[in-house]
């Protein structure tokens, strides 16, 4: 009865892994030779591991990655891509997030910008940072709707708080209407507070024209370029072509 009461209390406190392992130990004589400290340590370790795994699963699900299987260890360093392996590994440690710096990933369509950004994002999740992946056109549409519904600041705050924001298809097409103003609000809210990864087919020198608003473009670029590590992915053959269907 005492054992059942203890198990019930553990479950009520949502210490389910501890309850499960305690139950196993009660019915498995192989634990009998272990000391109390060893057995209790095993119970605590299992609960800790399960909680960490559950937290990682929640972070991964909430991030909304395009590539959920991306990882730094699987990045392809083909000679024509001209990637700096040391730089990728260093950034994969996520120190840039702790320092509130950004990453700009540049390259032609199909060269693997989205995959690499997701690999960095998943590395961040494994370090228990909050991450959000979003295509810039979708984000701008969301901010436009939010402004119209009077909840712009609420939506902006949600993006502001994310430790790592991945903006794919960055300035793929010129901005319209109030999008430059909304983008500046987003960049300013995160500047030197949290980190952002920008995936673009264009180098920062071409962003000014895409933003279109001279003063706003200057302000946006000033808050990004000077705090960002830059990665250029070259390649005579795109990754889509390299791993696509062969006829």
| Between 38 and 164, residue with greater pLDDT | 164
Sign of the Cα torsion 54, 69, 157, 197 reads: positive
Contact call for residues 163 and 129 (beta carbons, < 8 A) = yes
Confidence of residue 244 (pLDDT cuts 50, 70, 90): low
Asked if residue 23 has pLDDT above 80, the reply is: yes
Domain hosting residue 74, numbered range: 65-243
Task: Please count the other Cβ atoms lying within 10 Å of the Cβ belonging to residue 29.
Answer: 8
Please state the domain count of the chain: 2
Same domain, 121 and 220: yes
- 214 & 230 share domain: yes
How far apart CA 72 and CA 151 sit, in angstroms, is 37
- Taking residues 147-152, what's their average pLDDT? 96
Q: Kindly state whether residues 127 and 29 are assigned to the same domain.
A: no
Are 46 and 78 in the same domain?
A: no
127 and 224 share a domain? Answer: yes
CATH of the domain at 162: 3.40.50.300
Domain's final residue, options 18, 43, 62: 62
Assess whether 76 and 134 both reside in one domain: yes
Residues 129 and 199 placed together within one structural domain of the fold: yes
* Tens digit of each residue's pLDDT (9 = 90 or more) over 56-70: 999 999 999 999 999
Q: What is the pLDDT of residue 224?
A: 97
Of 85, 84, 157, 163, the C-alpha closest to 124 is 163
- Determine which helix (DSSP H) or strand (DSSP E) holds 134, and give its type and residue range: strand 131-135
Q: What is the mean pLDDT of the chain?
A: 91
Distance (Å, whole) CA 3 – CA 101: 52
Characterize the bridge pairing of strands 195-200 and 102-107: parallel
Domain match, 137 and 80 both: yes
pTM of the full structure: 0.86
Helical spans, DSSP H, in 74-225: 85-92, 95-98, 113-126, 136-148, 152-161, 179-190, 207-211, 214-224
Q: Answer yes or no: do 16 and 83 share one domain.
A: no
Same domain flag for 106 and 129: yes
pLDDT for the residue 138: 97
**Confidence band (pLDDT; 50, 70, 90) for 241?**
low
Give the helix/strand (H/E) hosting 105. strand 102-107
Residue 1 pLDDT greater than 60, yes or no = no
Give the whole-number percent of the chain exceeding pLDDT 90: 70
Three-state SS at 80: helix
Whether residue 55 is found in the same domain as residue 137: no
Instruction: Name, in order, each residue with C-beta under 8 angstroms of 82's C-beta and a sequence gap of 6 or more.
Output: 232, 233, 234, 235
- Domain end position, chosen among 62, 83, 112: 62
Distance CA 65, CA 3 (A): 44
């Amino acid at each position: 009865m005492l054992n059942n009461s203890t198990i019930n209390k553990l479950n009520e406190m949502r210490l389910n892994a501890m309850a499960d392992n305690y139950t196993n130990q009660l019915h498995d004589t192989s634990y009998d030779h272990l000391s109390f400290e060893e057995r209790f340590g095993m119970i605590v370790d299992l609960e800790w591991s399960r909680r960490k795994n559950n937290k990682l699963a929640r972070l991964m699900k909430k991030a909304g990655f395009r590539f959920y299987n991306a990882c730094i260890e699987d990045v392809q360093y083909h000679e024509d891509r001209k990637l700096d392996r040391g730089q990728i590994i260093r950034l994969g440690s996520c120190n840039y997030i702790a320092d509130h710096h950004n990453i700009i990933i540049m390259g032609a369509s199909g060269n693997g910008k989205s995959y690499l950004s997701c690999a960095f994002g998943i590395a961040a999740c494994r370090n228990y940072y909050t991450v959000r992946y979003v295509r810039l056109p979708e984000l701008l549409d969301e901010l436009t709707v939010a402004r119209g519904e009077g909840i712009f600041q609420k939506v902006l705050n949600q993006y502001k708080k994310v430790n790592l924001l991945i903006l794919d298809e960055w300035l793929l097409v010129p901005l319209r209407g109030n999008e430059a103003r909304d983008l500046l609000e987003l960049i300013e809210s995160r500047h030197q507070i949290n980190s952002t990864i920008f995936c673009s087919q264009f180098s920062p020198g071409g962003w000014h024209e895409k933003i279109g608003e001279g003063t706003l473009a200057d302000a946006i670029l000033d808050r990004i370029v000077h705090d960002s590590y830059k990665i250029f992915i070259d390649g005579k053959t795109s990754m889509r072509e390299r791993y696509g269907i062969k006829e």
